[in-house]
Every structure is written in C-alpha cells, then in structure tokens.
A = this chain, B = another copy of it.
Amino acid sequence: MYDFKIKKQSKLSKARVGELITPHGVIKTPTFIPVATLGVVKGGLLPEEYSSQCQITNTFHFLDLDRQDEIEKGGGLHKFFNFNKPIFTDSGGFQVFSLGKGSEYGLGKVGSIFPQGIERKKGKNLLRITQRGAKFKSPRDGREIVLTPELSYEVQKKLGADFIYLLDVCGTPLDSKEQAIEDINITNQWYNRFLKVVDGKQKIFGIIQGGVHKDLRLECTKHVNSLDVFGIAIGGALGNTKKEMYQTISNINKEIDLERPHHLLGIGDLEVIDKIVKLGVDLFDCALPTRVARHGTAFTKKGYLHLKSAKNKDRFIPIEKDCKCPTCKNYTIAQINFLFRAKEQLAGHLLTVHNLWFLENRLEQVRKEISAGRL
C-alpha cells in the first residue's frame, strides 16, 4: 500500500522526481506540505479549496486540547476533517523546540532569519527534557503534559495519519556541541522506545538531529538510515543563515539513504525552494505560506507581495496575471486590499488559497524541470 518510487534522478544536482504512494493516493514529489495545525489549514478553507496534495497536522496541539480520542472515535483525521488526501502528523518534537528555547530566545528553525512580514516574539520556555519525555507546561491552560515517545505514538495512532514521526529533541542554533550530543543521546533512546510500540500500520519518518555540527549530523544520518523507518526527515537547528542550512543538508547528503523520501522539516520560504530541491529534498512543510497569507502577504514569482499596503488600493489587476488559482481568476489586488482593511476573513481566505496554489504550481514546474533534465 505504501511505496516511494524515484521516477527521475537529475544529472545536474541531487534533485529527483518521485511518487510517494499511500493509502490515500499518490503524492508527486518534490512537493510542499501545508500545515493544518488542528486538522484544517487556517483561513477557513474547505477541503475542496486545497490545491495541495497532502497536509501535516500537529500531534502536540491535539494532545494539548486532549482531543485525540474524539478524533479516533470520529474515524481518524481523514474522516473527521473530510480530507481524503495523504496526511502526515509530526510527533510533537517541533514543540520541544518552539515552546522551549525557540520561545525563550525568539528563534526560528534557521537562526533568527525570518522572511518579511513575520515577527517572532520572545516568550517563556515552557519545557523541561528528561529521559522519560518532554515535560511541557500547556500554553493553553498551564497544566503539565509529559510527552513520551510512547504517548506521541499513541496519539499519532489515534489520529491515524498515513505518515507519523519519531519523537525527537529538536535542538536550536544556540546549542553547544555538548548540548547537541546530550539531545542526540536522549533522542536515540526515544527512537528505540517509539519503535518498540508501533504496530506498523502507519509509515514512519525518522528525524536526523545533530545541529550545525557536521560530524554529529553524519553520525545521526547513519543512525536514522539504520532504523526501520520508511522516510527520513531533516530536523533540528539547521544553521544561523540560509547558507548554513544548505551546508547542513549537503553534509547530511554524504550519508543519507537515497532510496527513501527526504523531508526537510519546518521550512517553506519562497526563496529556498529551488535550492533545497537541488539538494534532494522531496518534501518540505511550513506554517509560513498560510500564516503570511492571513496577514496579507502573497507569494509571487517576483517574491513576496504585501497586499495591505495603501499603494495597492487602486490596482485592479490579479496578484499574478497568469496565475490560474480561483483567487487570481476572480479577484484583483485592490479588492483583496479592501477586504484586508475591512478586516473581513475572506481576505485571508483568498490569499491562503492563492499561496497554496502558487506553491503546488511552482513545485509542478520544478518537477517538470527535473524531468526535462534542466534542474
């Protein structure tokens, strides 16, 4: 029922075109996975408005709301959210980062570099890591949640996604090498515990940690290669700059199993797409394209377009004139600009539809370029 087939390997780079076969259909890779935090992409989209091939949902947030049993009773994520395409669930490892040091120091996955329109605020570190698991203070009601590998699996099993992820300690660019080593040791123990309890029905991605340290990344890559996992994800701190991120992926590429799908976790900036694809990334996910949409920023071939700006109020042209998305076919920049200033939800809705369409269309072009031997 599951398979990953590489249909075309570029001769110019590590880029490849593939097919990820799942019980809910085939994902053409490389592709972008939109983030559907609590089962749906924010912005009020109906499933039929998604142009994306799949989505990723956050295990931690279901656990935080204690809703995993409800979803299981409702038939799992696909049925509960009327989404009949492949679904991924992360393990909660990202919240180990985002609610821990990510929050404390106001950090993103790539150091402190954020695209325009996004501001990261410093907050509290809501986390303590023990051998047993990640001890969270709920960001919602302050109660203690101990996320163990066993619990991460249990919740992911109840959610019933096609692909699930091992629970890791997701590090930060601020970590010392000693800290990174400590995190890897705990991560590896958690992986063993996680893999001991799985029933094999859902396919698993292992996650490569090791921060910005080449030797640690290589060691982790070899370890994840050795695990009984379907796919390989690149997680943790990727560097302080995009250049360092590319270097980190290049380092991993010296050892990574090329037969399995590669998922770069938590990255989805417009300007990195070509480069990460050329580094052999098959899947990448990020809340950014949908989050910036709700705040007025469109993805375009020329970069980010900020639609709220007053200078856009009389531009009666689509966001992109050759874009075939429902938003560009029916709405102009001036209209969307008005809806944003009027604080109508429809504004964010229209831009979310556009940004997801833009990305899927962009990746379709990328797949064609690779197939034609041009990337």
Contact = CB atoms under 8 A, between A and B. Distances in A.
A44 B345 contact: yes
A65 interface: yes
Q: How many copies does the complex hold?
A: 2
Contacts of A179: none
- Counting contact residues on chain A (CB < 8 A from B), the size range is 35 or more
Interface string A323-339: 00010001110110011
A173 to B, nearest CB: 31
Contacts of A146: none
Contacts of A334: 70, 74
Interface string A32-49: 000000111011111000
A341 interface: yes
A43 B80 contact: no
A215 interface: no
Contacts of A348: 44
Ranked nearest first, the 5 interchain pairs of A and B with the lowest CB-CB distance are A44-B345, A44-B44, A38-B342, A44-B349, A44-B346
A334 B338 CA distance: 35
Interface string A42-64: 11111000000000000000000
Contact of A346 (B46, B65, B331, B338): B46
A316 B40 contact: no
Contacts of A42: 344-345
B70 A344 contact: no
B335 A81 contact: yes
Contact of A313 (B70, B341, B342): B70
